[in-house]
């Protein structure tokens, strides 16, 4: 399955050049869309969906590095999803269950530590962090353009809340080598998975937008 990558760029052109655009994994993407001059990340991402309506779209932040083995891991995960849950909507590298437990695996340069642990197979989560996530094109989903800001951390959580059924598809370990992405600063999560995945501003908005879905606090992450 073809995949393309989209990144929304605010004032982080330098980090884009020094990190994401140096990722060897990008050579396997059908297209790399660097979305500039959009008023919000939601507008930038929706434009990418219109430009690549048939591809799995991978959305990343500019400070993410995707190593050479990542496309093969992505392909395995997509194969798994298409076999086991062909109606999947959104997948990502790191997410939270409804109990606030982290699922997935990545290295956070902000924390200087790994987040989570490698999974043998994708698993269901409630929300996904948006540093790296994918959208299946046939879902017809798009981003809420009322969400402001060039990087407000709510877009993915908003999609997850819409779907209510999400798959977290971290890159599974291969027999001889483990691949992951690096990048991002993850939240010191004092109030559960919402804060982890969409930040404080996003959590407040989400709280009012989906009051029935978000009905319980979750455990601290670290």
Which residues of this protein are in contact with other proteins, per CB under 8 A?
Answer: 12, 14-15, 18-19, 22-24, 61-63, 65, 67, 107-110, 114, 118, 149, 151-153, 173-180, 182-188, 190-192, 194-195, 199-204, 207, 214-217
Q: How far is CA 216 from the centre of its chain?
A: 23
Please say which residue, 23 or 89, places its beta carbon nearer to other proteins: 23
- CB–CB of 188/122 below 8 Å? no
Q: Minimum distance between the CB of residue 18 and other proteins, rounded to whole angstroms?
A: 6
CB-wise, 89 or 202, nearer to other proteins? 202
What separation, in Å, do the N-terminal and C-terminal C-alpha atoms of the chain show?
Answer: 37
Going 208 to 40 to 182 to 163, the CA torsion angle's sign is positive
CB of 15 to other proteins, least distance (A): 5
Q: How many CB atoms lie within 10 A of CB 211?
A: 9
Compare residues 4 and 19 and give the one whose CB is closer to other proteins: 19
Q: How far is the CB of 216 from other proteins (least distance, A)?
A: 7
State the minimum distance, in angstroms, from the CB of residue 148 to other proteins. 11
**CA separation for the pair 38, 72 (Å, rounded):** 31
């Amino acid at each position: 399955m073809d995949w393309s990558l989209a990144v929304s760029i605010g004032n982080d052109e330098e980090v884009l050049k020094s990190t994401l655009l140096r990722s060897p994994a990008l050579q396997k993407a059908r297209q790399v869309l660097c979305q500039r001059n959009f008023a919000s990340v939601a507008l930038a991402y929706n434009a990418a969906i219109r430009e690549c309506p048939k591809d799995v779209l991978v959305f990343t932040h500019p400070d993410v590095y995707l190593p050479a083995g990542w496309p093969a891991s992505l392909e395995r995960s997509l194969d798994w999803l298409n076999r086991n849950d062909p109606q999947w909507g959104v997948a990502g590298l790191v997410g939270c269950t409804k109990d606030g437990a982290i699922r997935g695996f990545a290295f956070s340069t902000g924390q200087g530590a790994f987040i989570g642990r490698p999974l043998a197979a994708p698993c269901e989560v409630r929300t996904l962090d948006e540093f790296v996530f994918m959208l299946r094109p046939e879902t017809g989903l798009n981003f809420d353009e009322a969400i402001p800001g060039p990087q407000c951390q709510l877009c993915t959580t908003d999609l997850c809340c819409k779907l209510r059924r999400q798959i977290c598809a971290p890159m599974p370990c291969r027999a001889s080598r483990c691949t992951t992405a690096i990048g991002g600063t993850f939240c010191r999560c004092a109030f559960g998975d919402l804060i982890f995945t969409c930040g404080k501003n996003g959590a407040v908005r989400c709280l009012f937008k989906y009051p029935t879905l978000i009905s319980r606090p979750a455990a601290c992450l670290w």
